[in-house]
A and B are shown apart, each in its own frame.
Chain A
Amino acid sequence: MLRLENIDVHYGATQVLWDVSIEVGEGEMVAVMGPNGSGKSTVLKAAMGLKKPSSGRVVLDGEELQGRSATVRPRRGMSIVLERRRLFPRMSVRENIMLGGYARPSAEAHRSFDWVLDLLPEIRPHLDATAGKLSGGQQQMVAIARGLMARPRVLLMDEPFLGLSPAMVKNVFAIMKMINGEGVAILFNEQNAKLSFAMSHRGYLLESGRVVLSGSGEEMLEHPEVKRVYLGVREAVS
């Protein structure tokens, strides 16, 4: 349903993505894995229209989105949970979540709000807290809730586990499974190969701004290159 086709991205004069193509099917969970600085965030921002690619196409359900403003995405069923949550820190949790439904008519937004709180009941006690004062894990919940307010069919998530405690990682992991179970496709970034590919239908490996490998989750996990470079290193370190 969402396709990035041959995307190039520049920051000023420096190119950071080369010919990146990524596809997310209906209801799929897709991982983009790569080391720090490889361009994962840029891929998601290009998909969301937050960073304009210098060439290539972004297509959602056959509709060409490239060249259209970022603000049409939420209306077309796409939303993003940015790296490090990026809540509006001095606004309440309620305001943060409601703004997630900005693109929807207000009656629908209120319905989404109830739906989101049913999915993530642990937010309820904090609705009137200032978002910036919550713990990292709580903030991630709110960020996900804000992302879900647009009733996305594709949810982009930039390093959803970053900086969370192991227990919280599990929790967010479960929530992603649940959301995916509701039929929402998820495209997420992650630096940890095991975490990325074990939970996803398909995965991409990004290195220095290029897709160097792609395949199903298992294929990626079993790939000798992934095993040697990413799983090997990981296991040796941890």
Chain B
Amino acid sequence: MSVAGFLELVINGLISGSIYALIGSGIALIYGTTRVLNFAHGELLMIAGYLVFFFAVTLGWNVFLASLLTLVLVGAIGALIQRVTIAPLLAREDWAFRVIAATIGLSIFLQSGAQLVFGERFQSVPYFFRGVLVLGDLRMPWQRIAIFLIALAIMAVCALILYRTQLGRIVRATAQDAEAALAVGIPSGLVHTSVFVISAVLAGAGAILLSPLISVNPWMGISYLLKGFAVVILGGLGSFGGAVAAGFLLGLIESFSVGFAPTEWRDVIAFTFLIAVIWVRPNGLFSGREA
């Protein structure tokens, strides 16, 4: 394999990995703090995809303005989902499974709703960034490089919030010991809603970055949700940093798998890797480092 070919695989891996990391770290943040598994998380991507399409294409706004408003709205929808469908279940018996079931129901409801409203058309947003980076034999569109860089920046901001702000401290405190956090007067409702907003924004950012490359459609959340879940398990359930690392790892594995198997086997390889890891290390690859 040529150096350029190898580099291209690495870069492609990091690019899809950064999307997995955005989605997985959001799911991990929610799970780590609230012990909730949100199966409607993928639909936040889908909704963000339609929103950015609507603002940037239908209304023809500047993409950055469109993205900003999309993030705000998708954050609000994240909060709404938490408040309306998840919070009321937490006080009931057997809530963990009920939340799974309810969010699965919500997920399919939103998918078919989108299908009815928008039809099955696949819609694409134009590239935000034009031009191609040429480095020797390596040619890489700036749009793809931007995905990686922006995703990194967003996760860095997220880490700053978690580790350097009061909001971050109360989120981590709740993740580490929910009862002790309540005992010092940290309102768990505020914390839960906040992590849903943060992770919805992370997913929304992923959708916006992806929207020029893939088409916006009612089912776009499904496969990313599964990848996000895989990443969360690989990273050690509930660990933000672990999910980020596992996201990039999964991206790289997929990218290199294309080297020795046809592309339609890529997801089979990714999920088989997950199951292999579960056989060997049930607590994930990077266990022990939680929020």
Contacts and interface: CB of A to CB of B under 8 A. Distances in A.
A touches B (Cβ under 8 A): yes
Interface of A: 12, 48, 50, 69-75, 79-80, 82, 86-91, 95, 98-100, 102-103, 146, 149-150
A71 B169 CA distance: 16
A123 to B, nearest CB: 17
B183 A91 contact: no
Contact of B179 (A82, A91, A102): A82
Contact of A82 (B176, B180, B186): B180
Contacts of A98: 169
Contacts, number: 66
Given A86-B177, A88-B176, A90-B176, A102 B183 contact: no
B51 to A, nearest CB: 34
Given A50-B179, A82-B179, A82-B180, A70 B172 contact: no
B160 to A, nearest CB: 15
A86 B178 CA distance: 10
Contacts of B184: 74, 79, 99-100, 102-103, 146, 149-150
Nearest to B183: A80
Interface residues of B, number: 18
Instruction: State the majority secondary structure of interface residues on A.
Output: loop
B244 to A, nearest CB: 17
B185 interface: yes
A185 B169 CA distance: 29
Greatest chain A CB density within 10 A among B169, B176, B185 is at B185
Given A88-B177, A99-B170, A50 B183 contact: yes
A155 to B, nearest CB: 12
11 contacts: A50-B179, A73-B185, A86-B177, A86-B179, A90-B176, A91-B176, A99-B184, A99-B186, A100-B184, A102-B186, A149-B184
A88 B173 contact: yes
A71 B176 CA distance: 18
Nearest to A71: B185
A57 to B, nearest CB: 20
A87 B180 contact: yes
A50 B291 CA distance: 23
| The 3 A-B residue pairs with the shortest CB-CB distance in the complex, in nearest-first order | A103-B185, A74-B185, A86-B180
B170 A79 contact: no
B290 interface: yes
B187 A71 contact: yes
A132 B181 CA distance: 15
A100 B184 CA distance: 5
Contact of A70 (B176, B177, B185, B291): B185
B185 A102 contact: yes
A151 to B, nearest CB: 12
Nearest to A72: B185
